[in-house]
């Protein structure tokens, strides 16, 4: 019979319980044991929920205090030498230090602190993972038994689970080597014995199957990388010979394509296919030939979006596999881990009944998985039990197709009328640059920040009171004006050249705008993890998008009136609005993005009319949206660049357009970034020690660049000398007149006690470098 399975459950809790517990521990409000108790309660709840919903295979070790790749680093002892670790067990404090860095006080006065490990995007999602670091001196050893401990914990609860691990090849390929001539795969032979040891211990504990995630199999791989996959699993198969332990390899976020033969011929027991991103690969696999001893896991329920599934269509897919392989060789599951969707739709009482029927969160997706598995293995017996869910699926499709709320003819007509002139600036950047420098009165190496400033407890408290109608709109707006005035004054005291208003009126950079645009829906508890304890609540783009009225001019005009220095307007770009939302699935994503771009264009022109001469249109998700396969890049880049230009190109030459991108590899899309024609791009660079600037240098990037010199994802305060060294390193590849000095990202998650001295040090570092650079 077909097996109902899950690749992973959201770890943060329906009400962000994990976030509060972890931050409580960091702040000293919770003890280590209290943090562990909170984590244990979440795991217990999640296992019970999935078991009660009827899953046959419940995952374990999908829980993490911070990140699953960091968990793998701890498991195999891949701890960079700069962290204080005695080489035995990686304890919780070492684990968090790797993610967040260490400030001087943590090291009893030794040095100026320890920099956190680099963080970057998890494939094409908005989740971020900690990047493993490898060198020839890396020695792997079993240094965390978390995966075994959590399996035994679930078993004691009466839940048999399938532990989840990052596969050994993907683990190495997701990391970075510290020596240029070292290939991470050279370390595979040293890594595999640790994996084998973990798998043996799981087998000894009674584990029946383990899920090894190899998402890199959906990428363009070299022959050497494919050979490494063969080598790894052949070696593990030999070392586990005689053990009663099944190996399930999970691939997701795309199709296997040319890697399909490699995956199908691995000595494993089950292979998971993402049939949401690549629905045709089931047919490809069956045509190629599935070995008689291999089961297929069908990722038919979308693990990355919130729409209710078309169960009738998906049942046809499952039945095709059952017909070809037999029901005992078919597993039914989500396309990927459910980490990327909210926990439970039942926590959303504010959504109307009409709209609520359109959606499925993690809990409801498991119901869909179970219904498909039951219907496929016992069609006649299970039809009555599952028909209610199938009927909901049909009703949701019909309701969306007929909803007046979704369709706006005026928006559709405006998109149809987009002309080429709307995506071109009046002059080249070379002509615009001197006009902008004069208009803004900028020095060499101008300093600025990315937009947001610390969201203090007072800010959050007043926002919450306003949302609950405990204070009037006038009281709330008076408070926001005070915050803006204070933030402007602080920046003037620090000595920054281009100021921002601080964004104290905003919670999330996408939600803030989405709430003011038609076509967006919002949840109360639709939280998903972005990184560590950082959670976001993505909007749902359900209908045609338009801007009823200006969104930011009220606050930017007020900020502009508080200072004689230039104030930069802050907007979220159309591609990021798209990428960081749950997007409607009834029209092409490019069409939705063009609608958003027109709305942002209207806001840009209103800001310019209001006297704002520098406008930042953030696109941190631009690289994230790039398809994983190079053969699909051109189409995406064409419409993504078009949408940015559509939003930004209506302004005069004197108006300076900024954009911001973070945690991305740019070398493969540098031409597209240049085609965006932003006057200034700021990028994350401090953790990578300016590594990504190589791509801008090799391409001879023509516009201006602000490489981040202050790592805002760590609480430590970087010294003047540290940031000065980063500026000097950047100037090895950039012209002084081309470079800006700024933090990596916005400062919302930091505290003023960290931000102020960090920015003072940044400004001082720029001043120290500025005079010799000018001379």
What is the DSSP code (8-state) at residue 308? P
Are the C-beta atoms of 210 and 105 separated by less than 8 Å? Answer: no
Query: What residues are paired with 683 via a beta bridge?
Result: 661, 707
12 C-beta neighbours (distance < 10 Å), count:
23
Are the C-beta atoms of 106 and 113 separated by less than 8 Å? Answer: yes
Contacts of 596 (CB under 8 A, 6+ apart): 517, 545, 574, 577, 578, 643
Give counts: helices (H), strands (E), the chain. Answer: 27, 22
Distance of CA 376 to CAs 314, 316, 317, 613, Å?
A: 10, 9, 10, 61
In which order are the strands placed within the sheet that holds 568-572? 568-572, 614-618, 656-661, 680-683, 704-707
Contacts of 226 (CB under 8 A, 6+ apart): 259, 262
Cα distance between the two ends of the chain = 77
Burial class of residue 183, CB neighbours in 10 A (0-12, 13-18, 19+) = middle
Look up tokens 């994996």; give the residue. Answer: 195
d(CA 375, CA 387): 9
- What 3-state DSSP class applies to 337? coil
How remote is the C-alpha of 476 from its chain's centroid? Answer: 32
d(CA 529, CA 537): 9
Are the C-beta atoms of 724 and 768 separated by less than 8 Å? Answer: yes
What length is written for the chain? 775
d(CA 377, CA 84): 54
Look up tokens 């030459």; give the residue. Answer: 653
- What 3-state DSSP class applies to 452? strand
| Catalytic choice (248, 501, 658, 713) | 713
Angle, nearest 10°, between helix axes 473-494 and 752-774?
A: 40
Are the C-beta atoms of 651 and 657 separated by less than 8 Å? Answer: yes
Buried b (16+ CB within 10 A) or exposed e, 688-712: bebebbebbeeeebebbbbbbbbbb
571 C-beta neighbours (distance < 10 Å), count:
26
Query: What residues are paired with 529 via a beta bridge?
Result: 535
DSSP for 518-575 reads EEEE--SS--EEEETTEEE---EEEEEEE-SS-SSHHHHHHHHHT-SS-BEEEEE-HH
Buried b (16+ CB within 10 A) or exposed e, 233-257: bebbeebbeeeebbbbbbbbbbbbb
d(CA 217, CA 256): 6
Q: Is 501 a catalytic residue?
A: no
- What 3-state DSSP class applies to 277? coil
- Annotated catalytic residues are 713
């Amino acid at each position: 019979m077909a097996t109902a399975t899950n690749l992973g459950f959201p770890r943060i809790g329906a009400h962000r319980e994990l976030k509060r517990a972890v931050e409580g521990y960091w702040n000293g409000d919770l003890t280590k044991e209290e943090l562990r108790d909170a984590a244990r309660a979440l795991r217990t709840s999640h296992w019970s929920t999935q078991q009660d919903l009827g899953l046959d295979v419940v995952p374990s070790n999908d829980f993490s205090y911070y990140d699953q790749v960091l968990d793998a680093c701890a498991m195999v002892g891949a701890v960079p030498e700069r962290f204080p670790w005695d080489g035995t067990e990686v304890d919780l404090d070492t684990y968090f230090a790797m993610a967040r860095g260490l400030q001087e006080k943590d090291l009893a006065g030794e040095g100026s602190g320890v920099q956190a490990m680099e963080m970057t995007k998890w494939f094409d999602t908005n989740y971020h993972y900690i990047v493993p670091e490898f060198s020839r001196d890396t020695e792997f050893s079993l240094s965390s038994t978390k995966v075994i401990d959590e399996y035994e914990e679930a078993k004691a609860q009466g839940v048999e689970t399938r532990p989840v691990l990052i596969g050994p090849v993907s683990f190495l390929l997701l990391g970075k080597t510290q020596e240029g001539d070292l290939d991470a795969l050279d370390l595979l032979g040293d890594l595999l014995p640790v994996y084998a040891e973990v798998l043996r211990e799981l087998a000894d504990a009674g584990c029946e199957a383990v899920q090894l995630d190899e998402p890199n199999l959906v990428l363009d791989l070299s022959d050497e990388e494919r050979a490494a996959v063969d080598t790894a699993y052949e070696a593990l198969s030999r070392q586990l010979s005689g053990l009663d332990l099944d190996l399930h390899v999970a691939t997701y976020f795309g199709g296997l394509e040319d890697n399909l033969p490699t995956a199908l011929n691995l000595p494993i027991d089950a292979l998971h296919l993402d049939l949401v991103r690549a629905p045709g690969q089931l047919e490809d696999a069956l045509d190629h030939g599935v070995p008689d001893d291999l089961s297929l896991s069908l990722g038919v329920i979308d693990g990355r979006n919130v729409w209710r599934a078309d169960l009738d269509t998906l049942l046809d897919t499952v039945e095709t596999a059952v017909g070809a392989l037999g029901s005992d060789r078919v597993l039914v599951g989500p396309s990927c881990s459910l980490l990327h969707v909210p926990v439970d739709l039942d926590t959303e009482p504010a959504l109307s009944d009409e709209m609520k029927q359109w959606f499925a969160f993690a809990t409801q997706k498991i119901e869909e998985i179970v219904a498909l598995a039951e219907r496929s293995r016992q069609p006649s017996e299970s039809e009555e039990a599952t028909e209610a869910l199938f009927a909901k699926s049909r009703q949701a499709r019909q309701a969306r197709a007929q909803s007046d709320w979704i369709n706006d003819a005026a928006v559709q007509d405006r998109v149809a009328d987009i002309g080429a002139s709307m995506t071109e600036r009046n002059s080249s950047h070379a002509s615009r640059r001197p006009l902008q420098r004069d208009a803004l009165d900028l020095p060499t190496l101008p300093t600025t920040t990315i937009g947001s400033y610390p969201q203090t407890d007072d800010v959050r408290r007043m926002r919450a009171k306003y949302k609950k109608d405990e204070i009037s709109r006038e009281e709330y707006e008076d408070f926001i004006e005070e915050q803006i005035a204070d933030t402007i004054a602080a920046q003037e005291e620090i000595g920054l050249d281009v100021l921002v208003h601080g964004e104290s009126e905003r919670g999330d950079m996408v939600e803030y705008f989405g709430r003011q645009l038609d076509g967006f829906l919002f949840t109360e508890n639709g939280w998903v993890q972005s990184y560590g304890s950082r959670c976001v609540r993505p909007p749902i783009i359900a209908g045609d998008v338009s801007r009823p009225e200006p969104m930011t001019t009220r606050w930017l005009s007020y900020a502009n009136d508080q200072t004689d220095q230039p104030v930069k307007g802050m907007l979220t770009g159309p591609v990021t609005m798209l990428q960081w939302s749950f997007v409607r699935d009834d029209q092409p994503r490019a069409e939705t993005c063009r609608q958003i771009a027109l709305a942002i264009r209207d806001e840009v022109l209103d800001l310019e009319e209001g006297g704002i001469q520098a406008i930042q249109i953030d696109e941190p998700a631009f690289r994230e949206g790039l398809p994983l396969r190079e053969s699909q890049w051109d189409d995406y880049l064409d419409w993504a660049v078009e949408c940015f230009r559509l939003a930004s190109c209506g302004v005069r030459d004197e108006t300076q357009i900024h954009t911001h991108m973070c945690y991305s590899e740019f070398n493969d899309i540098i031409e597209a970034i240049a085609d965006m024609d932003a006057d200034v791009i700021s990028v994350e660079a401090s953790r990578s020690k300016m590594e990504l600037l190589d791509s801008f240098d090799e391409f001879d990037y023509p516009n201006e660049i602000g490489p981040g010199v202050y790592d805002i994802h760590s609480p430590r305060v970087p010294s003047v000398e540290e940031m000065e060294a980063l500026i000097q390193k950047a100037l090895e590849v950039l012209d002084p007149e081309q470079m800006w000095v700024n933090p990596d990202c916005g400062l919302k998650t930091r505290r003023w006690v960290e931000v102020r001295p960090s920015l003072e040090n940044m400004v001082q570092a720029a001043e120290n470098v500025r005079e010799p650079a000018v001379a």
